[in-house]
Structure 1
């Protein structure tokens, strides 16, 4: 049975290149498949299980269309169905010849407990054909595979490169800095980890990572979210004073919370303006489904390079 389609969803909402791939189908079938792909892309972040249902239905109706197999592979990945995702992404690669989703494929191998195969994908000749964002995502997965194998030193090496000097606010930059900081912390290099968590936080305009929280933990602070504002305070409340001096207020100079906020503001001020726009999840795994015919950034691997838990 087909999952229900909202009445306001049309085939025209699908990316033009993907619609072009669907032209090999009868017109009525192409319209149905396109609408299910639109819904799958729209639901991928908020309700991945329902997104998966729509993508799999599209696959059943058009399994020989590369863009459809890409969409179903990404949807299967989003719900932790590693083997199914890997099969779909391999099929998509055979059908359209694109290597866009190598990072997802490598992460599926990790999810299946095969980090060695993940490294084979990461270091294969096809990886040299990727753009910088896709290469970085693949390196993050490779780093995670090294950690799976108990080798954090090698994991750190996987992440090293000129991209660590990038200062523009791009989605892959925040994830690279975060992954690098996480490995540094595992190696006991806390000061360097703090620096890269701070850098990740500074360029993470869309909240792709929890770098703020990780940085706060290292500095012994807590983050309180009050609407659009974030307040940093000491993790341990100070002992209440017996009395307050007349020339001081509780929030005056010397207040731990105030100093923490000022420190954070200084870090923000020192961060150069980013010229690139950030997008959720490497232009989002959601965009990967909607724009499955494009070769934009394509990995949804977790920030620290660790795969999600597989679901039944």
Structure 2
């Protein structure tokens, strides 16, 4: 693992450590980043190893939080992501934090976070991700019409492509399906599949379920 593969801003954070420790931590972070998609538990082990040597670095706590999130360990993910924010992380962690609240069975808390002042400062994909979480929280509470309203916004443009657009269209399709609006749901699953250039959803499989 080459420490130079880390983003420059993370390397700057690690510069507060002695050189040998910074090198070890950097290698663990690089390994965690490489493994996060294919083997989240292994990524979490590397992130924890980095934390054991540098628990006061925001990027390290963020790495642990994201890996824990990918493993479905909502409590640990929430604690680590909150710690990263306290330590000065500038990443848009609010959507993940809100989704952890959902994972812990607290959809009302996720909705509250989505309405807060920090949420109002988000834009672009980050704001869309938080809307997806907030809509999911409404759906958790059985409030499907409210969920659909959250997702019905100018950003719901069929011409969009990319990961966030695909996830947005997919969530909209799922909500329509839950409301019994099957024909509309199929159209949005098709749009999600077309937008999903990186294969982050199973939209194509969902389309096939409609026969």
| TM-score, normalisation: structure 2 | 0.96
- Whether the 8 Å CA contact 1:99–1:130 is kept in 2: the answer is no
**Cα distance in structure 1, aligned partners of 2:153 and 2:45:** 39
1:71 aligns with 2:63: yes
Q: Compare CA radii of gyration and give the structure with the larger one.
A: 1
What residue in structure 2 maps to residue 144 of structure 1? 136
Note the C-alpha offset of 1:31: 0.5
State whether structure 2 residue 54 is matched by structure 1 residue 62: yes
Cα distance, 1:168 vs structure 2:
2.7
Are 2:158 and 2:191, in contact at CA under 8 Å, matched by a contact in 1? no
1:8-49 Cα deviation digits (max 9, x unpaired): x12112111111110011111011000000000101111111
1:111 maps onto 2:103 in alignment: yes
SS at match of 1:80: coil
Q: What is the distance in 2 between the residues matched to 1:46 and 1:99?
A: 23
Aligned to 2:176: 184
Are 2:198 and 1:206 equivalent residues in the alignment? yes
Q: TM-score, normalised by structure 1?
A: 0.66
Q: Which residues of structure 1 form unaligned runs of 5+?
A: 1-8, 221-312
Q: How many angstroms does 1:77 deviate by?
A: 0.7
CA shift for structure 1 position 71? 0.6
Is 1:124 equivalent to 2:116 in the alignment?
Answer: yes
Alignment of 1:203-282 (within 5 A): 203-218=195-210, 220=211
Shift in Å at residue 135 of structure 1? 0.6
Structure 2 match to 1:32? 24
Tell me the residue number matched to 1:47.
Answer: 39
Number of residues paired by the alignment?
Answer: 211
CA 166–17 in structure 1, closer or farther in 2 if over 3 Å, else same = farther
* Cα drift, residue 166 of structure 1: 5.0
